[in-house]
Amino acid sequence: MDNPLGFGPDAAWGIVEGGSFPVLMLATVLGLAALVVRFVHAPRGSDLRGQIAGFLVAAAVLVVAALVPADAGPPQTVLALLAGAALPATVGYAVLRHRLLDQRAEVVDLRRRVTSLSASRRELVADREDERAVLRRELHDKLGPSLAAIGLGLRHLEHDPDPEVVRGLADEVQRAVGEVRRISAGLGPAALDDLGLATALRESLRSLDRFGPTVTVDIEALPDLPRVVQVATYRIVMEAATNAVRHAEPTLVSVSVRHDDGVRVRVEDDGVGLPATHEPGIGLRAMSARAEELGGRLEVASADGGTRVEAWLPGGAS
């Protein structure tokens, strides 16, 4: 070996020339052995095992090509070509396989989201049917008899205008009006109609203070939102804040509602946080269903030891 740097004895460089190839081959063999061990312990049929097998084949071709004498003729040429193509082909295969696996993961995630959305919609439809059944029962069992009694009393007055009957009818009308108000309140937050979304939230959240934690409310000026968006926002905020007070043992619950490209809700507490194995309960599923029904989304995560609920609901001014 010629002295490449121009200093030092030529004999030393000769030793380097004689020892470099064995050292290189030893390193290659040790690397191959490590890959074989990893291949053996990799799960059968896994992506990792397939990639290691590809690199082992490419490395074996390179080693064989290096061991064949230079004057071997056509075999040396064929092995050299194979060695030159093996490693790029293996790397290309690994990259392509990763892309395919990423796409498969995206498809699986999309299917999971579709399945979750379908389940939420089914729960929402079931909840609506339950609400309708309750409403039918309320109208039939409570409001219906009151109206029937009023009708009978009016017919009685046609023949006998008794003042006692009139007073009884007036009381029955008041009871019927009370039933109508009670049923209406069950169909939607009455405070929304009386106070508007921002004030209704502040008034309702203020009542949670008496259970211990401090509840802070930050609601910016909101546009005139569609009724369905107002109801969903109110229900999500109250459900998230109530859950925090009841289950998280917090000292502080922060509520934020603002509007830019839609309504953005954040309810955060400094409580015990989410358990390691968190399964969504009825309240969380109901909040998610309300958001998804409008084309929005809801996320729940741990935050600085507590829990954060964030929701986005599409909706501009109505």
* Alpha carbon distance 164, 301 (integer Å): 63
Look up the pTM and report it: 0.50
Considering the chain, what percentage of its residues have pLDDT values greater than 70? 67
Instruction: Please return the burial class of 277, using the count of CB atoms within 10 Å of its CB with bins 0-12, 13-18 and 19+.
Output: exposed
* Alpha carbon distance 176, 289 (integer Å): 34
Mean per-residue pLDDT, 241-259: 90
- From the CB of residue 79, how many other CB atoms can be counted at a distance below 10 Å? 19
* Cβ-proximal residues to 82 (8 Å cutoff; 6+ apart), any chain: 61, 65
Which phi and psi angles does 312 have, rounded to 5°?
-125, 130
Report which DSSP code applies to 43.
Answer: P
By residue count, the chain amounts to 318
Which phi and psi angles does 149 have, rounded to 5°?
-65, -40
| Triad 292, 297, 301: Cα angle to 5° | 130
Lowest mean pLDDT among 19-28, 65-74, 122-131, 181-190: 65-74
Reported confidence tier of residue 7, pLDDT bands at 50, 70, 90 = very low
Say what the pLDDT of residue 133 is: 75
Lowest mean pLDDT among 99-113, 120-134, 154-168, 241-255: 120-134
Residue 205 tokens, joined: 């959240």
Beta bridge partners of 267: 255, 309
**Domain spanning 191-313, CATH class:** alpha beta
Residue 289 tokens, joined: 């269903």
